[in-house]
Amino acid sequence: MSHLHLAHGLVLSLPFACDELAAASPGAIPDVMICEGHVPPALDDARLRDATHEASPNAYLMRAGPGAGQFLAERGNRILFQRGPQCDEALFRHVLLNPMLAALLRQRDLLVLHASGVVSPDGVVLICGDSGAGKSTTAAAMTRLGWPLHTDDVSALSLDRTEIIEVPAGARHVHLFEEASDALALDSRGLARNAWHRMKMAVPAFVEPVRPPRRLRRIVHLERGLVAAVRIERVTGRAKLPLLMHSVYGPYLVEAIAARAMLVSRALQSVEMLRITRPDTDWTMDRVLAAIMAD
pLDDT of residue 69: 98
Is-contact 203 140, C-beta < 8 A? yes
Burial profile 125-142: b = 16 or more Cβ within 10 angstroms, e = fewer: bbbbbeeebbbbbbbbbb
Model pLDDT for residues 246-283, shown as the tens digit of each residue: 999 988 887 787 778 899 999 999 999 999 999 987 77
Backbone angles phi, psi at 8, to 5 degrees: 55, 40
- Comparing C-alpha atoms, which of 155, 156, 138 is closest to residue 147? 138
Say whether pLDDT at 284 is over 80. Answer: no
pTM comes to: 0.94
DSSP state for residue 194 in the 8-state scheme: B
Model pLDDT for residues 86-134, shown as the tens digit of each residue: 999 999 999 999 999 999 999 999 999 999 999 999 999 999 998 888 8
Of 34-38, 63-67, 204-208, 284-288, where does mean pLDDT reach its minimum?
Answer: 284-288
pLDDT of residue 195: 85
pLDDT of residue 213: 97
Is-contact 133 149, C-beta < 8 A? no
pLDDT of residue 250: 84
Say whether pLDDT at 143 is over 80. Answer: yes
* Mean per-residue pLDDT over the chain, rounded: 93
Q: Band the pLDDT of 35: cuts 50, 70, 90.
A: very high
- Comparing C-alpha atoms, which of 106, 151, 34, 78 is closest to residue 251? 106
Model pLDDT for residues 225-234, shown as the tens digit of each residue: 989 889 999 9
pLDDT of residue 260: 87
pLDDT of residue 258: 78
